[in-house]
């Protein structure tokens, strides 16, 4: 059974600081997704990582994938309040786009 674990589950940080969210998964997969969810809303796609060593950046967020270590990271640079949300990673099971989600990381950025 595929397990996807995120760390930390809760993160409170100050504006301007940097931090990293980790996503570990238990079985082979070459496709990993990061999503953002605001309270009461659905998911917003952030990144799709398709191969080992993939790195993508958008604004203050950067995601990377190490398929050998079964680890993805979401790095936040110089956080701002607008980044406050819950962030999910998700792993594709068996290439059929069936996703298993991590527990989510609830990020709060304080002024």
Partner 1 sequence: GAVVSQHPSRVICKSGTSVKIECRSLDFQATTMFWYRQFPKKSLMLMATSNEGSKATYEQGVEKDKFLINHASLTLSTLTVTSAHPEDSSFYICSASGLERRAFDSYEQYFGPGTRLTVT
Site for partner 1, rule CB under 8 A: 31, 33, 35, 41-45, 48, 50, 88, 90, 92, 96-104, 106
Rg of the chain over all Cα atoms, to the nearest angstrom: 13
Give, in order, the Cα–Cα distances in Å from 93 to each of 33, 50, 101. 12, 13, 10
Shortest Å distance, C-beta 102 to partner 1: 7
**How far is residue 75's CA from residue 57's CA, in Å, rounded to a whole number?**
9
- Cβ–Cβ under 8 Å, residues 107 and 13: yes
- Cβ nearer to partner 1, comparing 18 with 27: 27
In the complex with partner 1, which residue's Cβ is closer, 16 or 94? 94
Name the minimum Å distance from CB 16 to partner 1: 27
Find the shortest distance in angstroms from Cβ 103 to partner 1.
Answer: 5
Distance CA 17, CA 6 (A): 20
Closest to partner 1 by CB, 77 vs 100, is 100
Smaller CB distance to partner 1: residue 17 or 41? 41
Phi, psi of 78 (to 5 degrees): 50, 65
């Amino acid at each position: 059974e595929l397990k996807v674990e995120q760390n930390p589950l809760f993160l409170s940080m100050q504006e301007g600081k940097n931090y990293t969210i980790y996503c570990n998964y238990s079985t082979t997969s070459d496709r990993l997704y990061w999503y953002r969810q605001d309270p009461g809303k659905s998911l917003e796609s952030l990144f799709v990582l398709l191969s080992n060593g993939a790195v993508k950046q958008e604004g203050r967020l950067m995601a990377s994938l190490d398929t050998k270590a079964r680890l993805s990271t979401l790095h936040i640079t110089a956080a701002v309040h607008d980044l406050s949300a819950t962030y999910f990673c998700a792993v594709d099971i068996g290439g059929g786009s069936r996703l298993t989600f991590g527990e989510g990381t609830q990020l709060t950025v304080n002024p």
